[in-house]
Chain A
């Protein structure tokens, strides 16, 4: 059974940092591109970042470029999101999602998602 479990969320002050993790199981993690998608309170889904299976290609939404860094450790079946210079509008539930297609290619399908981890940016 495919499972994605996010962790690392919490309350952080504006300008602070946080590192999210996503532990994957039930599939060959090293074969899949992975994504981070977020949902701000009362808002819809927003794609944040994606990374190909071997970390060769990485993509970011303009809203987080230069502040967030996606990474993965295929030996540990884990995906990460390092979030720096956090702002109030980064407050959201952050989901990791598996992609059937190579990140950056047309036709992405987010076929499995975790339940999310809440990040709250507030003073």
Chain B
């Protein structure tokens, strides 16, 4: 199985900050990397698919980049509603696997 490692596991930041979350795959996954936002008690929300494609309706402050084994999710200017847990997801091979999550908290 492909292991996905996110860093950091948690992050404290302020409204307006620029934030970057990284995700590393244990082997190459081409560009088959998605990002989700998850708030407690709610459905996970797709943000970015295939490394860098913004899901419809997602604010443009979210962006993704990378290839091969190393990927990043960037939030250009944090908004209050962005405080949540973020997961990367590789869909290069079955079983699909997720990173352990990055909890973004208010500083």
Contacts and interface: CB of A to CB of B under 8 A. Distances in A.
A61 B98 CA distance: 13
A114 B96 CA distance: 18
A110 B95 contact: no
A109 B46 contact: yes
Interface in A102-117: 104, 106-116
Contact of B97 (A47, A50, A59, A116): A47
A59 B97 CA distance: 13
Nearest to B55: A111
A44 B50 contact: no
A111 B46 contact: yes
Contacts of A111: 46, 49, 55
Interface residues of B, number: 27
B36 to A, nearest CB: 7
Interface residues of A, number: 25
Nearest to A99: B91
Contact of A110 (B50, B89, B97): B89
B43 A47 contact: no
B96 A95 contact: no
Nearest to A59: B94
Interface string B84-107: 000101011111111111000000
Contacts of A62: 95
A73 interface: no
Interface of B: 30, 32, 34, 36, 38, 41-46, 49-50, 55, 87, 89, 91-101
13 contacts: A44-B87, A45-B44, A45-B101, A47-B96, A59-B95, A100-B49, A106-B32, A106-B91, A106-B93, A109-B49, A111-B46, A112-B43, A115-B41
Interface of A: 4, 44-47, 50, 59, 61-62, 95, 97, 100-101, 104, 106-116
